[in-house]
Structure 1
Amino acid sequence: MAANFECLGQTVGVADSGDVRQPFDRDGMVRLRDEIQGGVISRRQLRELRAQDHDIRRLVRNCELTAIHPGVYVGHTGNPTWGQRAWAAVLACWPAALTGRSALPKPPERAPIEVMVPMGRTVRAPEGVIVRRRARFEGYVDWADYPPRQLIAEAAIDAAAEAADVNEAFSMLADLVQSKALRAGALVEALSHRRRLRDRHLLGELLEDLKAGACSVLEREYLRCVERAHGLPAGERQIADSVDGVSVERDVTYAAYGLVVELDGRAFHGSAASRDADHARDLAAAAARGLRTVRLTYGQVLRDPCRTAARIGDLLRLGGWEGQVRSCSVCADA
């Protein structure tokens, strides 16, 4: 296990040395604490830098160090930043790494810090820290990151598995793909190794929808509950286009039938100007390419998918589609 790593000539997370014959390396402490670890250092590291108990007491007394967890200090007396909380959690549970949501590019600021340790260890979680024991620890940590963290695809799968509901899980995964932090294929690969993961089948379905081009909860619901459930033709998703010199991505395009479906997840447009811009692009696309554009809301997709599917079917038939809209289980119960 790569539990130790080198920083500016000092080893992070090693056993105490406390050699009384050599002076405390105060400059080394400052470099390690402030330049590498965001203002955080552990007692273990201070001992490696030859600090004695009286040195540490003096640093605390002079407010150069403030305990954030037992044996872990921050270099000020104010509220720690998220990054300092993350470093403190990792050092308090060392050897450990950020995991789950805490290991993702946009971690929740106010949530407890999640860290993982090897399955064979039992670690008491400090206040504000969640400790997760992971069988997939060896080889699944980026020790070159600061602080160390679980590989992002692995972290995303674990975070999605622990989400409150399916929509939260899908939003989390879609945001990562949309921001280009990950490819959908990397998530599929990470999931393929998780034979015993809770809700593995459901996560597989979410990733298949993501690979199909659904990039938001609303787009996924349209794909599942309107298009697939009612036998509509498969649209092309996230097609890049340019209208009046403005680059856009169209949510769902039925090019053969001259129809574009835009899924407006906002409760309202940010301004009248943005609303006008949307409709101006729709008009330009109709004039230049003969593409009719319809805009659907959450209510039309989630609360009335059957009526919406019937109307989309009518529009597709106007463009030459010869298929039939079929009934779904919701239609049958209505």
Structure 2
Amino acid sequence: MPKRAESSLDARGLAGLLERQAGVVSRQQLLDLGASRADVRRLLARRELSTVHPGVYVDHTGRPTRAQREWAAVLACAPAALHRESALDAHGMTCDRDTPRDRATVHVLVSRERRLVPPAGVTIERVADMSRWVQHNRRPARARFEYALLKAASLRREADAVALLSDAVQQGLTTASRLLEVLGALSRLPGRAGLGEILEDVAAGTRSVLERRYLRDVERAHGLPEGTRQERQDSASGVVVRDVRYEPERTLVELDGAFGHRDAVDRWSDLQRDLEAAVDDHITLRPGWAQVLEPCRLAVVVASVLQHRGWTGRSRHCGPTCTIDDGGAPDPTYRPDAPQRPR
């Protein structure tokens, strides 16, 4: 029987590479470490490696972890980088609103001129000037955070997109100003105009867009009574300005346009304003972007409060996608987590 040739595989180098890549290695990397094709076949036969994608292996025979699937996708499509939700995950963002289906797919970014068919469980997006948007020094390579975030947000309903951006700001991973800077370079991004006006409002610390959206999409569209706006009132702590006041129903709507955690001083100020309103027998509602961007759902809440406090009118159906029935009540078939068409 012929003697088996001595392997020239750098075993120590392979061990280090597997450690750095979460136990994942490509066929090309094995060859670069001195492995022969026979070495690769032997590692697979001994079950020291198992196939994840064609030409990409993991160092066990069980189910690959999320990190291993991300590494495998990047190596299978190399040169490539994690993108969208996969990049957000790699950057350390917690996406509580993601569904299991969202996380089952690995998203990668490749150069526009590439023509490849992604393996199962992997989606690709092609981009010109890939180096502009990718951090090649991270392991695995990943799209820059703001780019991946805006791309992920662009495929969601406006309310869900703003919730995703707000989560990122709240977790300290970016700012509205940085997002605006990147958005300026993405002229073809779906939903760019709407996201831009919201981010401009947040970056400037104003609420003008939020206030217009509430007036147009919540109050007027659903037949709610017209509130008094920006009313100045004397109080024990000085002059306060109320965003919206429904005087006959003794109800205030204070619109919260912030993304993420506001500082303690703002919260104490809110509490003081609410206390003074309660002394005057007013109830205070504090909707933010997430609520105003689901206007039908918010209209039900505001209408219910106003009706309990004396309003004799009824909210109305605003259009074909409205979640309020013709009688002013919530549509019993409405599910807030169901996909809806953008307004």
TM class by smaller structure: 0.5 to 0.7
Equivalent position to 1:190, from 161, 177, 182: 182
Equivalent position to 2:138, from 121, 136, 145: 145
* CA–CA separation in structure 2 for the residues paired with 1:228 and 1:181: 36
**CA RMSD of the aligned region, Å?**
4.5
TM-superposed deviation, 1:135: 1.7
TM-superposed deviation, 1:161: 1.4
In structure 2, the residue corresponding to 1:195 is in which secondary structure? Answer: coil
What one-letter code is carried by the residue in structure 2 that aligns with 1:76? H
TM-superposed deviation, 1:168: 1.6
Could you tell me which residue of structure 1 aligns to residue 87 of structure 2?
A: 103
* CA–CA separation in structure 2 for the residues paired with 1:28 and 1:190: 39
* Residue segments in structure 1 that go unaligned for 5+ positions in a row: 1-19, 236-253, 265-277, 316-328
- 1:32-181 → structure 2 map (5 Å cutoff): 32-34=17-19, 36-104=20-88, 105-106=93-94, 108=98, 110-163=103-156, 165-181=157-173
* CA–CA separation in structure 2 for the residues paired with 1:120 and 1:21: 41
Deviates more, 1:101-110 or 1:292-301: 292-301
Q: Residues 60-98 of structure 1: CA distance to partner in whole angstroms, max 9, x if unpaired?
A: 122211100000001111111111100000000000001
CA contact (8 A) 2:83 2:108 kept: yes
TM-superposed deviation, 1:56: 1.1
Report the CA distance shift for 1:39/1:305 in structure 2 as closer, same or farther (over 3 A). Answer: same
What one-letter code is carried by the residue in structure 2 that aligns with 1:71? G
What one-letter code is carried by the residue in structure 1 that aligns with 2:296? L
Report the CA distance shift for 1:234/1:120 in structure 2 as closer, same or farther (over 3 A). Answer: farther
- 1:1-334 → structure 2 map (5 Å cutoff): 23-34=8-19, 36-104=20-88, 105-106=93-94, 108=98, 110-163=103-156, 165-211=157-203, 222=214, 225=217, 233=229, 255-257=240-242, 286=275, 294-295=284-285, 302-303=296-297, 305=299, 308=302
TM-score by length of 1: 0.64
- Count of matched residue pairs: 262
TM-score by length of 2: 0.62
* Residue segments in structure 2 that go unaligned for 5+ positions in a row: 232-238, 246-251, 257-266, 310-316, 319-327, 329-343
CA contact (8 A) 1:262 1:294 kept: yes
CA contact (8 A) 2:230 2:241 kept: no
Report the CA distance shift for 1:61/1:262 in structure 2 as closer, same or farther (over 3 A). Answer: farther
What one-letter code is carried by the residue in structure 2 that aligns with 1:168? D
* CA–CA separation in structure 1 for the residues paired with 2:229 and 2:51: 61
TM-superposed deviation, 1:170: 1.3
CA contact (8 A) 2:274 2:284 kept: no
In structure 2, the residue corresponding to 1:139 is in which secondary structure? Answer: helix
Could you tell me which residue of structure 2 aligns to residue 321 of structure 1?
A: none
In structure 1, the residue corresponding to 2:131 is in which secondary structure? Answer: coil
